[in-house]
A and B are shown apart, each in its own frame.
Chain A
Amino acid sequence: MHDKSLINAGRLLLKNLTQQQHSRLYLAVLLGVLASIAMIVQWYALARLTYAVLIQQQSLVEQSLIIGLMVLALILRSVLVRAQEHYAQLASLHAREALRNQILFKWRQISALQHSQRSPGSAASQLIEDVEAMDGYFARFWPQQLLAVLTPLIIAFVVFYYNWLAALFLLLAAPLIPLFMVLVGMGAESINQRFFNQRQRLAGHFLDRVKHLTTLKLFAAESAALTEVNLRSEDYRQMVMKTLKLAFLSSAVLEFFTSVAIAAIAIYIGFALFGAISWGPSADITLFSGLFILLLAPEFFQPLRNLSQFYHDRAAALAAATQIATYLDQSDTTKNLPAGDISEQQSNSALSKLVTTDLSIGYNANEKLQGPLNFELTTGLCLVISGPSGSGKTTLLHTLAGYLPPVSGELLLNNQPITKTAIRYLPQKPWIINGSWSDNLSVLAPQATEQAMQKALIQLGLEPLISNRDNGLDSKLNEHGEGLSGGQLQRLALARVILSPAPLVLLDEPTASLDAESRQYVLAVLAELKSQCILVISSHDPEVLALADQQLHFKFKGADSSC
């Protein structure tokens, strides 16, 4: 299902992101190593204390130095671990921020039409939830994969100093664990993939029924649907449990080795202390070294256990990174879109000129919709495009806006490619943001003053809607303009256009589906706007056509028009 090269792209992305955070991450690892050393000191002191009291029969009061050392080591260890987490979390925060910036940069480079091919919801999930899901990888998994090697090595080294046989035992058990885990884990991974698909299907089924609740109610099929939802969950549970029986073996392996290693070391030390084993280093064992080794044995395996707990962080991050890397690597269809905003806005006193030479338009290079088109427009002139739906009216507007490269021919505004100049585009469905009236105006007309906004609203007959509201311009539009009619929303969008004049204004069906009142306001504003810019409108409205200095009437090309 996942292509190898795609996963590699995901790996590469993760690698680059960690590379940027190397200093923080390595600092975290260093602090983790120091914490391990403090931990060793802590248990050293405990073993010493026990030995002194139980074997050497010294009084507790004499041990204040070793008790002090133990408390100090404890506090130091805890604080070092806290510091380790602090730096790992900071690294994660910055890595995610860097990745989000990469995505946003990509967003600025691709054309608006390419954006519309993805649902905004899933794009938002990628930017927010998917990037958020990588937190565990940087904050936990990455430092831990180093610590899972370093900490056991340090412990083994210390154990080796006191008893090489016990150290050998630990060192033999440790590499076996990852080996077994990989063996079991590989099986579990493919299961996990299947399990993931099943899970998606179950969630999909549930959401499908929720989405169609109205239909279920209209057809009185509620109880049948409820039974079905419950049955599906039950099937899913049975299926998952079958696979989990195998998947959980990997954690059982880890548990088994930890337990057996502790048990074996304890029994070995016990027998050695008893005098039952006398060869090798066994004769030198005391209660101190025996207890010390026993206390260190669980700590030897703990980092590995933590790593296996964080393993799903890695899987989640890799899945997200693969998706994001695929998206970032996509080539752009438009080449000359500026990645940043060009701040200089053309002063509108200058006369602008829009020229097309043998321009052919279409969504695919080999499927031209209309063309060749030749026209020349200067400020004060208006071009109206009409024709049946699907004949290429909106396509021409998209091409003029620079969202779509011409199939052939050339298109210049003031002798420059169109994307060099800020223009205005008003699509059929106006863009309304969740905020106040003034938010909605200033989002596309950042320089507009409050007075100018008032004036524009009066011009479009929207003033009465806010004049009796307490906060005036700052009063909220209802959520996404609900409660306002389509015509009122269209007028609001047009108000932005007249607030921030641009040399070229493109309007897509500005009067379609408007009530009579809205239509009159819109027509009046269009007539006034015409003198200030080059106006290109797609419309069937005879009164809009009356504004035209030039007209284009599109007919269907080719035979694929179906009725």
Chain B
Amino acid sequence: MLNPRPNTVSPIRFWLGKVLEHQKKRLLIGLLLALLTVVSAMGLLALSGWLITATAITGLAITAGSVIMLDIYRPGGGIRFFALSRTVGRYFERLHNHDLVLRVIAGFRGTLFSGLLDLPVQQLRNTQDSEWLSRLTADLDNLDSLVLRLLLPPMTAVGSVLLLALFMSFFSITLGMIFGGVTLISGIFYFSLLTHKTTQICRFYAEQINEARLLTIEHLQGQLELQAAHLNEAHQTRLVQSLGEIGRAQLKLNQQIANAQLMVSICHGLLVIGVALAAMWAYQNAIFSGPVAVMLVLAVFGLGELLQNLPGQLGQWGRTRYAAERLQPLAEHKTTEKMELEQLERLSMMLADHPKVISTIDTAMAFELNVGQCLLVTGRSGSGKSTVANILAGLEIPDSFITPYQLLINGIPMRTEQTQAWHKQIGYLNQQNSIIAATLYDNLTLGLDEVEEQQLWQALTLVELDDWAKQLPKGLHSWLGDTGSQLSGGQARRVCLARLLLKESKLILLDEPFNGIDIEMAECIWQRLYPQWQDKMLIVLMHQT
């Protein structure tokens, strides 16, 4: 029930759908700008070819004595125009398309975040894991290839081939049709082959990277034991092997791309030669004039610079697909049922034989608690107190096959669908001090709609942080977290306590509330907090002292 549903849409299509949904117009403009650039580049060469052939033929005729008029200023103006439109087109194309990519990635980030918000809280344990987080960032970064490399360049290429074929058709429909047909069919055939091949290699490559990462981390975590035993070098051999695999996979991928470049280069060269022969033949049979023949050849020649980048761009297919595939289940909107929950009056719990909690079936942990009562749970560190707290908060659900377990709210077992409603009724202080990177004000008012500053100062006074907050550079609006003021462990703990005080909750669940706070201060704060929570249900978990 908690597993995401199997994918019904292919990952690339899923993310492309998101792009089309919001950015269709901008995508079209981007395509038009790209086409303008390519057409200008081709036009510049084609018109230049026309001009020099026309002048050469006319020049010879004039020397031979005939009187022929040739306007060389208008084509010259055209050439200057194309030179300018190519420069301007390229500049705005790049600018516009980067703007588009930033919008697209912003959209992806939002989609991904709201997808993660939809995940049941029991599945969120990963998010604490830095490995998982770094993979998430890498995957998100890889998705920016989607528009810039996988979508726009092939569309531009197809568009310019079609335009060129259309242009040729003005002079010879047969030549235009054959050129367009051959180019598109061979292009599509070859690039679908390339994307297919790189999909497998990229997957293999990404898997090798992950494996090497895990091995490396293992190797470093084992240093204390490996170094003492003089087994460091021996353990590195497997790592070296795995790193070698990465290199080989990467080489394979690059070689595929290079092969594609080889094919594109030969195909384009053959196209130039083919069109040249056809145009020369048409000239000799008086179908084309000389300048037109050279113009068409040079237009095809000008297509080269667009085509030569395609293999490298489309070679990103596999990597992008892999990232898209991994992010899709996280980003998909999940329709998890949400259920309401009665007002908490009575809480009871029973737990035995949990692998992380020291309690057997004979010494099962069980209690019942009413509003206004306080429960103190003690145990050595490592005895599983935090696991118990997480289970009470609905953040973990024990495996019912191993662990006999019950959590009853007013005598009724709590269901997973009620977790969200349960969180509205409880205030849970877990062992990690969860300070988000934001201002002190934002941290204290997390999830609250309207709070008066007066209340915040009251809460800060209760945890002895008012003086500290007053001397902060921007008071309540000072930045905390990684990039802001560094908090000591004790200060962070007290900010978390103050935040809990501001939240209206039925059950207060405190896991090692005074971690990092010295005994005198803890005593003093506890004397103040306890009366505040008199009319609530209070569970405190602390290690034995």
Q: Kindly report which residue of chain A lies nearest to residue B76, judged by CB atoms.
A: A267
Q: Kindly report which residue of chain A lies nearest to residue B106, judged by CB atoms.
A: A233
Shortest beta-carbon distance from B158 to chain A in Å: 22
| Chain B residues whose C-beta falls within 8 Å of the C-beta of A93 in the assembled complex | 247, 250-251
Q: Kindly report which residue of chain B lies nearest to residue A42, judged by CB atoms.
A: B269
Q: In the complex, which of the residues A120, A225, A502 has the most CB atoms of chain B within 10 Å of its own CB atom?
A: A120
In the complex, identify which listed stretch (B26-34, B181-189, B216-224) lies at the interface while the others stay far away.
B216-224
Contact B216 A127 (CB under 8 A): yes
Contact A263 B44 (CB under 8 A): yes
Contact A262 B130 (CB under 8 A): no
CA distance A256 to B91 in the complex (A): 10
Interface string of A32-71 (1 = CB under 8 A from B): 0000000000100010011001110001100000010011
- Chain A contacts with B in 196-216, Cβ cutoff 8 A: 201, 203-216
Shortest beta-carbon distance from B379 to chain A in Å: 10
Interface check B178, CB cutoff 8 A: no
Interface check A546, CB cutoff 8 A: no
Interface check B110, CB cutoff 8 A: yes
Contact B358 A128 (CB under 8 A): no
Shortest beta-carbon distance from B248 to chain A in Å: 8
Contact B247 A274 (CB under 8 A): no
Looking at the complex, which one of B98, B434, B499 makes contact with A212 (CB distance below 8 Å)? B434
| Chain A residues whose C-beta falls within 8 Å of the C-beta of B63 in the assembled complex | 275
Shortest beta-carbon distance from A160 to chain B in Å: 19
Interface check B105, CB cutoff 8 A: yes
Contact A55 B56 (CB under 8 A): yes
Interface check B327, CB cutoff 8 A: no
Q: Kindly report which residue of chain B lies nearest to residue A480, judged by CB atoms.
A: B218
Interface check A338, CB cutoff 8 A: yes
CA distance A214 to B356 in the complex (A): 21
| Chain A residues whose C-beta falls within 8 Å of the C-beta of B420 in the assembled complex | 217, 220
Q: Kindly report which residue of chain B lies nearest to residue A516, judged by CB atoms.
A: B358
Q: Kindly report which residue of chain B lies nearest to residue A131, judged by CB atoms.
A: B243
CA distance A476 to B434 in the complex (A): 34
Contact A298 B305 (CB under 8 A): yes
| Chain B residues whose C-beta falls within 8 Å of the C-beta of A513 in the assembled complex | 380-383
Contact A214 B127 (CB under 8 A): yes
Interface string of A243-286 (1 = CB under 8 A from B): 01100110110011001101101110111011110000000001
- Chain B contacts with A in 491-523, Cβ cutoff 8 A: 499, 503, 518-519
Looking at the complex, which one of A125, A213, A221 makes contact with B124 (CB distance below 8 Å)? A213
Interface check A340, CB cutoff 8 A: yes
Interface check B254, CB cutoff 8 A: yes
Interface check A182, CB cutoff 8 A: no
A274-B55 contact in complex given A120-B220, A208-B436, A424-B229, C-beta closer than 8 Å = yes
Shortest beta-carbon distance from A511 to chain B in Å: 11
A443-B222 contact in complex given A204-B437, A220-B424, C-beta closer than 8 Å = yes
CA distance A83 to B282 in the complex (A): 37
| Chain A residues whose C-beta falls within 8 Å of the C-beta of B102 in the assembled complex | 233, 236-237, 240-241
Q: Which residues in B have some Cβ–Cβ distance to A below 8 Å?
A: 40-41, 44-45, 47-49, 51-60, 62-63, 70, 72, 75-76, 79-80, 82-84, 86-87, 90-91, 94-95, 98-99, 102-103, 105-106, 109-110, 113-114, 116-117, 119, 121, 124, 127-128, 130-131, 133-134, 136-138, 209, 212-214, 216-218, 220-236, 239-240, 243-244, 246-247, 250-251, 254-255, 258-259, 261-262, 265-266, 269-270, 272-273, 276-277, 280-281, 283-284, 290, 293-294, 297-298, 301-302, 305, 355-356, 358, 380-383, 393, 395, 420, 423-424, 426, 428, 434, 436-437, 446-447, 481-483, 499, 503, 518-519
A-B contact pairs, 12 of them (CB 8 A): A71-B270, A100-B243, A128-B209, A129-B138, A214-B121, A251-B94, A263-B79, A267-B80, A287-B56, A294-B45, A295-B298, A434-B214
